[in-house]
Amino acid sequence: MIDIKVPARICFYGDHQDYLGLPVIAGTINRFIQLKAVPNATNNFAIKLLDLNERVTIAVDDALKNVQNGDYFRSCMAVLKEKGFAFEQGYDIEIAGNIPVNAGLSSSSALVVCWLRFLVKIQKKSIAVCDIELGHLAYEAEAVYFKQPGGIMDQYTIAQGGMLFIDTETGKSGKLSTQLGTLVVAESGISKQTLEVLQNARVYAQNAVEAVQKRVPEFKTSAATVSDYEKYRGLVPDKFQNHWYATIHNYDITRKAQAELSKSTPDIKVLGDLMNQHQEILQNQIQNTPQEMIKMMNAARKAGALGAKIIGSGGGGCMVAITTDELKNRVIDAFLASNAVNAYEVQLT
């Protein structure tokens, strides 16, 4: 039997930065998608999606033409076939997990990485694919293949695991401390609006940067400092001012968080404050946070959360809070009392 287990991810700092080539800090948590497979006597991948009570059947020699939007099973196969992979043996496959769907914890990217690991594993000729390469394959199959606006963060984080600082311009990553205190995830019960939020945020941010570069060709976001916000804001049209602010200041917050998480003993109060600063930009400049979720996070802070933020592209989904072990139950209760549908402690994997 083939047994593959892939984690969910949380972006802690740098939301809406990866598609600008700016760094992010993200980590994997102990929520998983699991795939179990055994060979069968057919020419098909017979897939049971246990949580959805659905079945998918794909011929191993499927032509993979006109793949429907969001059909990641076939898009993964298509991307691998283009690179010389082959599929010859059918399998009975069961997929299940405890990652909330459409909630900001990257259930779709976890599924893509899990499926790709399976497809690589079943090759008759052993092919070495490192975690970074797998992350890039997942990005191709999920975002590039369907021309979606997201960056590489989700796929690269899930494929590599741990707490990572990812340079999204080069694809290089480095391990960071996992000492973020006690982490609580809360599910808002509000459906995420991934593509709409991402598309608007990406276009506005890119237009803001391009407006500056049109007049200052040597300007690079990767070399930007907080002083550049005021220095160049007069070059940015009013329509894109919020996203110009977000681009510069979120980058600064991410670099400060990287510095703190590079210490042997990070200060979780500093990390919590940086998380709150990041969330203020997400809700005020990028405007990706519903008022109901803002109230939930404010309640969590009053109960003892040092920091709290929305997870993922926004419009709904989950939130994460940094707290202490002593106060975690109060934070969980505060989320639930303010109408979150679920809240629980998670650990970085």
Q: Please report, for the domain that includes residue 318, its CATH number.
A: 3.30.70.890
Q: What is the pLDDT of residue 194?
A: 57
Question: At 193, is the pLDDT very low, low, confident or very high (cuts 50, 70, 90)?
Answer: low
- What tokens appear for 312 in the block? 């993922």
Q: Are residues 126 and 189 located together in one domain of the fold? A: no
Rounded to the nearest integer, the mean pLDDT of the chain is 94
> Which of 115, 149, 175 delimits the end of a domain?
175
Q: What is the pLDDT of residue 198?
A: 62
Q: What is the pLDDT of residue 59?
A: 97
Q: Tell me the pTM.
A: 0.93
Question: At 148, is the pLDDT very low, low, confident or very high (cuts 50, 70, 90)?
Answer: confident
**Residue 246 contacts residue 16 (beta carbons within 8 Å):** yes
The pLDDT tens digits of the residues spanning 196-252 come to: 666 678 889 999 999 999 999 999 999 999 999 999 999 999 999 999 999 999 999
Q: What is the pLDDT of residue 197?
A: 62
- Judged against a pLDDT cut of 80, whether residue 149 lies above it is answered with no
Strand, coil or helix: what is 11? strand
> Which of 175, 197, 212 delimits the end of a domain?
175
Rounded Cα distance, 76 and 134, in Å: 11
User: 């808002």: which residue's tokens?
Assistant: 188
- Judged against a pLDDT cut of 70, whether residue 338 lies above it is answered with yes
Rounded Cα distance, 70 and 283, in Å: 28
Over pLDDT 70: what percentage of the chain? 98
> 126-140, 187-201, 266-280, 282-296: lowest mean pLDDT where?
187-201
Q: Are residues 248 and 314 located together in one domain of the fold? A: yes
Q: Are residues 193 and 326 located together in one domain of the fold? A: yes
CATH number reported for the structural domain that contains residue 139 in this entry: 3.30.230.10
- Judged against a pLDDT cut of 80, whether residue 32 lies above it is answered with yes
User: 């039997």: which residue's tokens?
Assistant: 1
Q: What is the pLDDT of residue 94?
A: 98
**Mean pLDDT to the nearest integer, 170-188:** 95
**Residue 243 contacts residue 286 (beta carbons within 8 Å):** yes
| Amino acid present at 107 | S
Phi, psi of 123 (to 5 degrees): -65, 135
Q: Are residues 158 and 208 located together in one domain of the fold? A: no
Strand, coil or helix: what is 12? strand
> Which of 139, 159, 175 delimits the end of a domain?
175
Q: Are residues 165 and 189 located together in one domain of the fold? A: no
What does the H/E/C string look like for 142-168? HHHCCCCCCCCHHHHHHHHCCEEEECC
Q: Are residues 141 and 233 located together in one domain of the fold? A: no
Domain extent at residue 86: 2-175
Q: What is the pLDDT of residue 221?
A: 94
Q: What is the pLDDT of residue 296?
A: 98
| DSSP-derived pairing of the beta strands 24-39 and 163-166 | antiparallel
- What tokens appear for 23 in the block? 């760094």
DSSP alpha helices (H): ranges in the chain?
A: 72-82, 107-121, 131-139, 153-160, 194-215, 227-232, 241-261, 268-284, 291-302, 328-337
Over pLDDT 90: what percentage of the chain? 87
Find all residues with CB under 8 Å of 291, minimum gap 6, and list them. none
Distances in Å between the alpha carbon of 85 and those of 76, 228, 229? 11, 47, 47
Q: Are residues 165 and 238 located together in one domain of the fold? A: no
Q: Are residues 252 and 170 located together in one domain of the fold? A: no
Identify which of 164, 186, 155, 180 has the alpha carbon closest to the alpha carbon of residue 273.
180
Q: Are residues 171 and 204 located together in one domain of the fold? A: no
> 55-59, 130-134, 215-219, 284-288: lowest mean pLDDT where?
284-288
Q: Are residues 106 and 224 located together in one domain of the fold? A: no
Q: Are residues 189 and 296 located together in one domain of the fold? A: yes
Rounded Cα distance, 129 and 259, in Å: 31
Q: Are residues 213 and 101 located together in one domain of the fold? A: no
**Total number of domains in the chain:** 2
